[in-house]
């Protein structure tokens, strides 16, 4: 940080730029050649860095493609942690999901047809995406446990996390499916939004008063 503590120093800035350059080069190669046919060495050459630099920034090849993997995993838990006073976990997640659909959030699957096709064509990427969603569900259960002061996280929080994460996962899958079918993002959002609203409505009776933040 600088003396003001508001901006990253030059080293951190260069590190971020290198990471972005690697990610962009990797995505381009994966889309052009396919994920499974592209090597780490080829990504390094395209980004103009050493192979070790690539693996230092991205220990897993799959995360070269899913460069938002940390944000994807943390989104649900972060939404619950940041819910407003008087707001339940379900209400916060509903609000975040619908806002994400409106802005075509990449974390909800709005990634473009080339990206979606690359995932669809690669069993390794599809498996990694499932793993990221599972990690997000686990993080959500932890956040719910924190919200209701349940340590260790118990059965109720794990069930609630599974139900809430299932809506998010279904939205993501439907956005991906429609993207592969060639639909425009605005049309996808308009089509998926009513289904998301209905799904959250169905959960209201079970979870509408669960993990309400104290005012």
131 half-sphere exposure, CB direction, 13 A CA radius: 12
Mean per-residue pLDDT, 100-122: 95
Summarised one tens digit per residue, pLDDT across range 140-172 is 999 999 999 998 999 999 999 999 999 999 999
Find how far residue 139's CA is from the centre of its chain: 12
The two tokens of residue 157 are 């929080």
Residue 8 pLDDT class (50, 70, 90 cuts): low
Percent share of the chain, pLDDT over 90? 90
Say which residue the tokens 């942690």 belong to.
81
Say which residue the tokens 């938002």 belong to.
68
Per-residue model confidence (pLDDT) at position 7: 59
Contact criterion met (CB below 8 Å) for 101 and 192: yes
Summarised one tens digit per residue, pLDDT across range 77-93 is 999 999 999 999 999 99
Residues 6+ positions from 56 with CB-CB distance below 8 Å: none
Whole-number Å distance between alpha carbons of 65 and 35: 8
Whole-number Å distance between alpha carbons of 193 and 191: 6
Contact criterion met (CB below 8 Å) for 116 and 53: no
DSSP secondary structure, 77-97, as one string: HHHHHTPPTT--HHHHHHHHH
Percent share of the chain, pLDDT over 70? 96
Mean pLDDT rounded to a whole number for the chain: 94
Per-residue model confidence (pLDDT) at position 68: 85
């Amino acid at each position: 940080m600088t003396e003001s503590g508001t901006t990253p120093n030059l080293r951190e800035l260069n590190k971020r730029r290198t990471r972005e350059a690697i990610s962009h080069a990797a995505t381009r190669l994966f889309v052009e050649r396919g994920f499974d046919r592209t090597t780490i060495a080829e990504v390094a050459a395209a980004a103009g860095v050493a192979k070790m630099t690539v693996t230092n920034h991205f220990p897993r090849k799959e995360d070269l493609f899913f460069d938002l993997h940390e944000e994807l995993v943390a989104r649900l838990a972060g939404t619950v942690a940041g819910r407003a006073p008087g707001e339940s976990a379900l209400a916060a997640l509903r609000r975040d999901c619908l806002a994400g659909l409106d802005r075509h959030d990449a974390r909800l699957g709005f990634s473009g047809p080339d990206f979606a096709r690359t995932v669809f064509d690669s069993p390794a990427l599809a498996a990694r995406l499932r793993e990221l969603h599972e990690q997000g569900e686990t993080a959500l259960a932890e956040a719910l446990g924190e919200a209701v002061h349940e340590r260790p996280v118990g059965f109720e929080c794990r069930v609630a996390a599974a139900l809430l994460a299932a809506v998010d996962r279904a939205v993501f899958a439907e956005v991906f499916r429609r993207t592969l079918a060639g639909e425009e993002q605005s049309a996808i959002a308009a089509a998926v939004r009513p289904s998301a609203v209905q799904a959250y409505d169905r959960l209201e009776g079970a979870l509408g008063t669960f993990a309400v933040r104290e005012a």
